[in-house]
Chain A
Amino acid sequence: MKNTFKSLLLLGSILMGTTFCDAQDLDLKHTMESSFQTKGIASADRLNQDENQMACSALVKGKPQINAKLKAKIEKSNLNSVAYPQDGVFLGNWREGEKIAQSGKGATWSDKADDVNGGSCYNCHQLDKKEISYGTIGPSLYNYGKMRGQDEAVIKYTWAKLYNSKAYNACSLMPRFGHFKLLTENQLRDLMALLLDPQSPVNQ
């Protein structure tokens, strides 16, 4: 009887394993949950992955790998969830945008819930050429607007990229600023202006 029960458990875990994830992943989940605790606004439930995060964390031979079908599905659902400005105003003030791009504040356990978040743009991208302290994880955005112009397709693409970077690349390293409400609609408008306004230092 006891053995039957054991076999059933084993069978159950094999079935679970083939359908969802292998046994080691269950260990990972357990390890993560027992290893972290809520601190300030960074609550323990941040460890719970959404479908997108889970798909981009899955390893094949020790490296993350996502299959083409799942990648396309995730990109489609992200693109469909992008909220475009209802009033049709996509561009704000590039001066404000530059401040947002400079600020790396927000969403850590040492930040407050009502702090104004930054976009951390310079952490990873070159923008204004005068700012020499820029990171290289993302591509240079210097002359972004100058090279692309300002037609509707460019504007909509850029908005969606800022709002939800995974709409175009499921495992992009860039945060989903609109999707996770890291930046407000107005802040996104200001970043749009920083990228696209001909007067912006990005386009000089």
Chain B
Amino acid sequence: MLKSVLISLTVLVLAVGGTSRAQSTGDEIAKYREMLADGNPSELFEAAGEELWLKPAGPNAQSLAKCDLGLGPGVVDGAFAQLPRFFKDTQRVQDLESRLLTCMQNLQGIDSQSVIGEEFGRGLRKNMEAIVAYVVTHSKGMKINPPLIHPKEREFYALGQKAFYYRAGPMDFSCASCHGAPNQRIRLQDLPEISTPQGAALAWGTWPAYRVSSGEFWTMQRRLSDCFRQQRFPSPVYTSDVTIALSVFMAQNAKGGIVQTPGLKR
């Protein structure tokens, strides 16, 4: 697998270097995706994540192998496709990343605040990103199917919907400024209309993703954080309620779509 990833990376570098200003960035990215179909660089993160999942760590020297992501202790296959959801033990609606924080805390003894206070791509947060890559890959090709039964899940959907349209800041932007109408783009970047099933499936179904431009693996929490940066909002706290409410809004709208993560982005 490593070999195929390396070959893919070489192809990718050649492709990026060899293309001057593309006629349509969308077309070029579609081409990269095709070339890389067998070896998305996310595989490197996924492999690291699998190791981290199985390796004893933290003050308790325990692995995450008994982590319950909603389908029972240790079940990874299909787990991401049914998130976010309400969890009885925490009495909270949780997305993948906040649920992993719970497992790290309860099983390994790792203080959640030490991950929440970290920057993306660093330290324990970087480990988290790899574990996310591992977990989401095990839902690839499945139907997006999070529950909307518990009152808290419904409450979070309603909150997410309101947060999606919440205009504020020096540019009056909300999520909907860019993602509230069909067939829009910023510069050449196509923008999915997240209030529709099709658009939501494109957005929710293709993140987390490997980003070609930065060589990083971006989780949904990171994707949302950078959206808010460009929205000129203050910084969303990692796994805060608004990020989970928006995730519920997206995932519910995307219901029936296909999990295509980890995606590959410009």
**Interface of A with B (CB < 8 Å)?**
24-25, 27-28, 31-32, 34-39, 42-44, 46-49, 52-54, 56-57, 59, 62-64, 107-110, 122-124, 132-137, 166, 173, 175-176, 180, 182
Contacts and interface: CB of A to CB of B under 8 A. Distances in A.
B174 to A, nearest CB: 7
Interface class of chain B by DSSP:
mixed
A122 B187 contact: yes
B183 A35 contact: no
A59 B188 CA distance: 30
Contacts of A43: 234
Contacts of A108: 229-230, 232
A47 to B, nearest CB: 5
B234 A31 contact: no
B159 A37 contact: no
Nearest to A25: B162
Interface of B: 21, 23, 155, 158-159, 161-163, 165-174, 176-178, 181, 183-189, 195, 228-230, 232-237, 240-243, 245
Contacts of B23: 132
Contacts of A54: 167
The 3 closest A-B pairs by CB, nearest first: A35-B240, A39-B235, A35-B242
A28 B229 contact: no
Contact of A35 (B171, B173, B185, B236): B236
Nearest to B230: A108
Given A39-B235, A180-B170, 20 more contacts: A28-B159, A28-B162, A31-B242, A34-B240, A35-B243, A36-B237, A46-B168, A49-B166, A56-B167, A56-B172, A108-B229, A109-B234, A109-B235, A123-B187, A132-B23, A133-B187, A135-B184, A136-B183, A136-B184, A136-B185
Contacts of B234: 36-39, 42-44, 46-47, 109
6 contacts: A35-B240, A35-B241, A39-B235, A42-B234, A59-B162, A132-B188
A31 B163 contact: yes
B229 A109 contact: yes
A42 B232 contact: yes
Contacts of A110: 229
B161 A62 contact: yes
A34 B240 CA distance: 8
A109 B170 CA distance: 12
Nearest to B161: A62
B171 A175 contact: yes
B57 to A, nearest CB: 28
B38 to A, nearest CB: 30
Contacts of A123: 186-187
Given A108-B230, A133-B188, A180 B166 contact: no
Contacts of B181: 137
A123 B241 CA distance: 30
A108 B228 CA distance: 9
Contacts of A31: 159, 163, 241-242, 245
Contact of A53 (B172, B236, B243): B172
A24 B158 contact: yes
